[in-house]
Amino acid sequence: MLANIGISQLIGQPDSPALCIDDVLRAVDMVQADALAVHLNYLEEIVQPEGQTRASGAAAALASLVRELPVPVVAKEPAPGCRAPSPSGSGTSGCEPWTSGWRGGTSFAAIEASRAAAAGDTVRAATGLAYRAVGHPDRRQRRAVRGRAAHQSRSAACATGWMRPGP
């Protein structure tokens, strides 16, 4: 079982303070989670009409969370996919395992662009449409994630997203 937060929740935003370790522990305890998934979803955040867009200090906040939380922290890049971190874990602030989505599945940039347009936010809507098809192709992303796991036998890595059935 995974508890879930967005990385932007670890940074103080204009309308809300940053989550502290006690807040995150309550979320983990509430669902009796075995690990915490932290979504690295800034593309979605910048397109959402109510998006939390402050990012400064996110890597340090994530690294601190990894050190303090008694359960594993999974870095989850839901879409459009990002380059796999190095075998040492740099790029994910020490999160183990690491998972990524990829281009070809649901485009949350497009979904949020539609919501932004309905709210009359033309800048966010245009941003979402501009980035709706951005991402690493499925096969390249799966190879990167598989290679990451192979370099660290103690590490798990998984790729998530929709895969087309058939031959």
Per-residue pLDDT at 119 exceeds 90: yes
Distance between first and last Cα of the chain: 32
For the stretch 47-63, what's the b/e string if a residue is b when 16 or more beta carbons lie within 10 angstroms of its beta carbon? bbeebbeeeeebeebbe
pLDDT digits (tens, 9 = 90+) for 54-108: 989 998 999 999 999 999 998 877 655 455 444 444 455 556 545 555 555 677 8
Do you find a cis peptide bond into 14, omega within 30 degrees of 0? no
Helix 58-68 and helix 21-30, axial crossing angle in degrees, nearest 10? 60
Ordered by start, the domain boundaries in the chain are 2-107+135-159
Measured distance CA(105)–CA(108) in Å, rounded:
9
pLDDT of residue 76: 79
CB atoms within 10 A of CB 167: 2
What CATH number labels 2-107+135-159? 3.20.20.70
Give, in order, the Cα–Cα distances in Å from 43 to each of 9, 17, 37, 159: 14, 21, 17, 18
**For residue 158, how far is the Cα from the chain centroid?**
13
